[in-house]
């Protein structure tokens, strides 16, 4: 591992690309290796044991690619799989801590909403992290199990009645509780940001866990003196555990550019 090594990022599927998109902005000279476990997505309705086993395999695969930082760009893994940095002896971040810190700083009325997968919400991970920062903050949680399948299948348009109806249904309880800050606690959710903003209204601040995590990665790079000295822009390699076509098509939509460097791997071998 050296400063020329890549940043390793993984998620259950496409969601972690919301962190990659931001990483490229914050750290344009870094090379990135991304793994999306598209063959086993979603993680969010599985048991802690299964999620942890999958996360370990994902991290082992990335470690085989000479990485210098490991990022679990997945709210579910960050919530239930423990500290992978200790396991793999590498600077590590999940999405939880950076996102909780920003939300606690942002709220004005002390009421924060959290949306995430069922595993994330059942773990109360964001709630605990926020209340460790400030025990007076109130946290209202809602799981949104239909969001990930919507995103993975390209249902992301704010004018789509199906998308709008699902979003309204899940967010109603958070609106009733008058949250002024909403954590998009699953990295798939920023892809639905427009419709979530339409439903919550302009007075609610949306906190994007992918973005906050990318910002924290910049801090880690500086802290451990790991900046890549190259002058050219870094390259991104993408790996998935299922069909390439679907990934390339939808990944292109929300990265805003075509994705060519994609390969399929057998994650069970790691």
Q: Which of residues 131-160 bind ligand DGL (CB under 6 A)?
A: 148
Core vs surface per residue 58-94: b (16+ CB within 10 A) or e? bbebbbeeebbbbbbbbbbbbbbbeebbebbebbbbb
Q: Is 144 a catalytic residue?
A: no
CB contact at 8 A, 187 and 20: no
Q: Should residue 170 be labelled a site residue for ligand DGL when binding is judged by CB under 6 A? A: no
Residue 93 phi/psi, 5-degree rounding, is -145, 145
Binding residue (CB under 6 A) for ligand DGL from 75, 94, 113, 190:
75
CA distance 90 to 68: 7
CA distance 143 to 171: 10
The contact mask relative to ligand DGL for 22-61 (x = CB under 6 A, - = no) is: -------------------xxxx-----------------
Q: Is 74 a catalytic residue?
A: yes
Binding residue (CB under 6 A) for ligand DGL from 71, 74, 80, 183:
74
Q: Which of residues 104-133 bind ligand DGL (CB under 6 A)?
A: 117, 120
Q: For ligand DGL, give the closer residue by CB, 196 or 226.
A: 196
Burial class, 129, CB count within 10 angstroms (exposed 0-12 / middle 13-18 / buried 19+) = buried
SS3 88: helix
Binding residue (CB under 6 A) for ligand DGL from 12, 57, 141, 181:
12
Question: Which residues are the active-site residues?
Answer: 74, 186
Binding positions for ligand DGL, rule: CB under 6 A: 11-13, 15, 41-44, 74-76, 117, 120, 148, 186-188
């Amino acid at each position: 591992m050296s400063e020329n090594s890549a940043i390793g990022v993984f998620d259950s599927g496409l969601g972690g690309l919301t962190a990659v998109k931001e990483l490229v902005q914050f750290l344009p000279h870094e090379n990135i290796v991304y793994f999306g476990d598209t063959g086993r997505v979603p993680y969010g309705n599985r048991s802690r044991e299964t999620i942890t086993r999958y996360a370990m395999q994902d991290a082992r695969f990335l470690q085989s690619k000479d990485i210098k930082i490991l990022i679990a760009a997945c709210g579910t893994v960050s919530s239930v799989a423990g500290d992978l940095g200790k396991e793999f002896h590498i600077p590590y971040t999940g999405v939880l801590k950076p996102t909780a810190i920003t939300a606690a700083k942002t709220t004005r009325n002390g009421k924060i909403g959290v949306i995430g997968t069922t595993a994330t919400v059942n773990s109360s991970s964001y709630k605990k992290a926020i209340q460790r920062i400030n025990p007076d903050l109130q946290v209202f949680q809602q799981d949104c199990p239909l969001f990930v399948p919507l995103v993975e299948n390209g249902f992301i348009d704010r004018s789509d009645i199906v998308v709008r109806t699902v979003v309204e249904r899940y967010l109603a309880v958070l609106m009733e509780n008058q949250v002024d800050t909403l954590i998009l606690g699953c990295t798939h959710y920023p892809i639905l940001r427009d419709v979530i903003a339409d439903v919550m209204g302009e007075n609610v601040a949306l906190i994007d866990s992918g973005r906050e995590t990318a910002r924290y990665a910049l801090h880690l790079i500086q802290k451990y003196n790991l900046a890549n000295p190259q002058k050219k822009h870094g390259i991104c390699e993408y790996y998935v555990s299922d069909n390439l076509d679907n990934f390339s098509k939808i990944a292109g939509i929300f990265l805003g550019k075509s994705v060519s460097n994609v390969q399929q791997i057998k994650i069970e071998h790691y």
